[in-house]
Amino acid sequence: MSAQTNPAEKGLNPGLSCQESYACSGTDEAVFECDECCSLQCLRCEEELHRQERLRNHERIRLKPGHIPYCDPCKGPNGHSPGVRQRAAVRCQTCKINLCLECQKRTHSGGNKRRHPVTVYHVTKVQESLEEEEMDEGTKRKKMTEKVVSFLLVDENEEIQVTNEEDFIRKLDCKPDQHLKVVSIFGNTGDGKSHTLNHTFFYGREVFKTSPAQESCTVGVWAAYDPVHKVAVIDTEGLLGATVNLSQRTRLLLKVLAISDLVIYRTHADRLHNDLFKFLGDASEAYLKHFTKELKATTARCGLDVPLSTLGPAVIIFHETVHTQLLGSDHPSEVPEKLIQDRFRKLGRFPEAFSSIHYKGTRTYNPPTDFSGLRRALEQQLENNTTRSPRHPGVIFKALKALSDRFSGEIPDDQMAHSSFFPDEYFTCSSLCLSCGAGCKNSMNHGKEGVPHEAKSRCRYSHQYDNRVYTCKACYERGKEVSVVPKTSASTDSPWMGLAKYAWSGYVIECPNCGVVYRSRQYWFGNQDPVDTVVRTEIVHVWPGTDAFLKDNNNAAQRLLDGMNFMAQSVSELSIGPTKAVTSWLTDQIAPAYWKPNSQILSCNKCATSFKDNDTKHHCRACGEGFCDSCSSKTRPVPERGWGPAPVRVCDNCYEARNVHLDVAEAQADDEGGTLIARKVGEAVQNTLGAVVTAIDIPLGLVKDAARPAYWVPDHEILHCHSCRKEFSIKLSKHHCRACGQGFCDECSHDRRAVPSRGWDHPVRVCFNCNKKPGDL
């Protein structure tokens, strides 16, 4: 190398001085670095030194701005070759060598060398950028992954641990508009899945936790972002591990597989086991059966412009052996992928869902494992966008969220099919027909979308559930299937006219298309059964939570009671004001002098509840104030007020202070004697009338129970409102929903709607839940 240089190049590194002092005094600026001389040299020293025959062939480099020499004794931080030496941090003036911090600590931290004078090299931003430019591609990639950390994406209970898309993107530490793919890994527990991901994507950094312990160190699903390959890397819990919720965790693996673009199946067995092929075969079948439809529905529901699935993910089987040859080594003419397809066929498994299956093996004679072949295969598959294209991280989160919401809930152990990795019970509705025991074939939580239960097989008749439905025979012959039910009257009849016709000609069967097709007493004699003439019978499944089908919908008696109750209620509501006014006036006339008049009692003296027009006001016999029934339900003798030794109604406060006797003068008792006698006579008359009313209520309740339609819940079984759970009392009346037959309070069942399926063709009382149902009830 020539020592000629341009004088303009001086001043590039004014902080670096010549370290040779061969032709100068050591103060001249360094311009060259000779690696074999292990020194920085000025122009004159470089020229004079390398004129010598033995030094003429030394390799020198010209210094760039901000140059820092390499450490002379360094062999790298981990004992690697000189090709990866560290840059020097100081130069020992006595030893005439450049040292990095590690070498300085190792060689100059003790003895006399601690006192050697050193010159410090200052690293500038220019030098840092130059160092990055000088880095090879592998070093740059390694530097990009230095800050990557993993996070828990889904726990062992299938619950997503990120709140929304923004939280998912923040934990991934990537840009929201970044297009990326998903790579996940599967395999048996202890086969080194986390270790494989760490060395394949993150150059050996422990992004995913590894452990030499027997217990699995990966519980749930963990994720991290690889900025080099622009992929979301997902680590999963191993198969065949010691776990309690095995079924749910196996289902979780398929959810991860469904959102993945590339799947690594890691096996450390010397020979490929059947479990590998059964897992991939069952996963393919479950993917096509349950997940393809749901992913397409998610695409439409979320308005995504990127399809979530055209084909399933690509699969790479990463096989590491120690004592055996790799697959296909003894058959050079056959590729390993063909041998794998033959194994699938022999086991009766067909992995049709996966876009491709590749085999990549490595034989480890001496550790560590070589992951370079797997890395190259992954990079080749990631560059292929023909079947699976990259997408935004928000799309990935939406897909995972949709699958988690759809396929969730406990899996009964008694329904498990242990011959398959992914039995239908993992993903289908768990409801069973009460009559025949057949299971629903629809997906989990299909009721949220308004999809009814369905079964693959036909049902059998059960007298307990009476699971028959009638369909109009005439419509069936015209290609339509129209359900009909026996009911009291036709939809065209008014309520009272319908009752009259029912009394004369019996119940009817009415078709929406054909009109009234049957009357049970149309003729005086010779009336045929409707099944033989106008309807056909079909046996249907009985699902939990549904009612029987041909229960007696004849509601004539209940209609009659409803009409009478409506008239009585109307008269009662119109007359309640005048009646209450007269009653209050009469009560005040015979009340004792110390009682507060009814006209002045607007609210309970204790709980301050305001009295309505039809509420009853009660007087405490001790203090004379007005109370509601609950605040004056106790009784005790009040002889000091002239009520004698018999227990009478008192308020709660006076009952608690029953040991404190009032000092009432004899004169007061004499004055009140007359009014007390009048009040006692009035109460005796009132109690007598109340007993008569109670005696009438008992047979009235029997009449109501007899008139109750068969699908109504009996009154004595209704203790609280079916919706708001309020307990029924004298003030809170019970009302039946005409659609479901459950008991409700008035607030939860004040809607009016026709219920043709129950024989109510005119608007009648229904509950909130039934009123929300679409279509005819």
Is the pLDDT confidence value at 244 over 50? yes
Report the percent of the chain where pLDDT is more than 90.
Answer: 5
C-alpha distances in angstroms, 52 versus 44, 45, 90?
13, 12, 29
Interatomic CA distance for residues 620 and 665, integer angstroms:
19
| The two three-digit tokens of residue 425, written as one number | 């019970």
Task: Give the tens place of pLDDT for each residue, 672-708.
Answer: 444 555 455 555 555 554 544 444 444 545 555 555 6
Phi/psi for 502 (5° steps) reads -65, -40
Task: Give the tens place of pLDDT for each residue, 158-173.
Answer: 888 898 899 999 999 8
pLDDT value of residue 359: 92
Topology, domain 559-705: Herpes Virus-1 (3.30.40)
What one-character-per-residue DSSP string does 535-587 give?
EEEEE----TT---SS-----HHHHHHHHHHHHHHHHHHHHHHHHHHHHHHHH
Q: Where in the chain is the domain with CATH 3.40.50.300?
A: 144-410
Q: Of residues 412 and 484, which shows the higher confidence score?
A: 484
Is the pLDDT confidence value at 499 over 70? no
Q: Of residues 45 and 576, which shows the higher confidence score?
A: 45
C-beta of residue 197 within 8 angstroms of C-beta of residue 233: yes
Residue that is written with structure tokens 């430019």 in the block: 133
pLDDT value of residue 135: 57
What predicted TM-score, i.e. pTM, was given to this entire model?
0.46
Assign domain 712-772 to its CATH architecture.
Answer: 2-Layer Sandwich (3.30)
Q: Where in the chain is the domain with CATH 3.30.40.10?
A: 559-705, 712-772
Task: Give the tens place of pLDDT for each residue, 544-584.
Answer: 876 545 455 554 445 545 555 544 444 444 444 455 555 55
What one-character-per-residue DSSP string does 270-283 give?
SS--HHHHHHHHHH
Is the pLDDT confidence value at 591 over 90? no
Per-chain mean pLDDT for the chain = 76
Phi/psi for 327 (5° steps) reads -60, 130
> Environment class of residue 211 by beta-carbon count within 10 Å: exposed (0-12), middle (13-18) or buried (19+)?
exposed
Residue that is written with structure tokens 């005048």 in the block: 578
Interatomic CA distance for residues 335 and 278, integer angstroms:
21
What are the CB-based long-range contacts (under 8 Å, 24+) for 575-582? 576/613, 576/614, 577/613, 580/613, 580/614
> What's the one-letter identity of residue 281?
G
Taking residue 86's Cβ as centre, other Cβ atoms within 10 Å add up to 16
Of 267-276, 381-390, 484-493, 636-645, the least confident: 484-493
Using alpha carbons only, what angle is made at residue 426 by residues 423 and 429, rounded to the nearest 5 degrees?
Answer: 115
pLDDT value of residue 732: 79
Task: Give the tens place of pLDDT for each residue, 123-169.
Answer: 655 455 555 555 566 677 788 888 889 999 988 888 888 988 999 99
> Environment class of residue 495 by beta-carbon count within 10 Å: exposed (0-12), middle (13-18) or buried (19+)?
middle
Is the pLDDT confidence value at 537 over 50? yes
| The two three-digit tokens of residue 90, written as one number | 């100081």
Containing 469, the helix (H) or strand (E) segment is strand 468-472
Residue that is written with structure tokens 């025979």 in the block: 473
Report the percent of the chain where pLDDT is more than 70.
Answer: 74
Query: 144-410 in CATH: which number?
Result: 3.40.50.300
Q: How far is CA 257 from the centre of its chain?
A: 18
Is the pLDDT confidence value at 233 over 90? yes
Is the pLDDT confidence value at 667 over 50? no
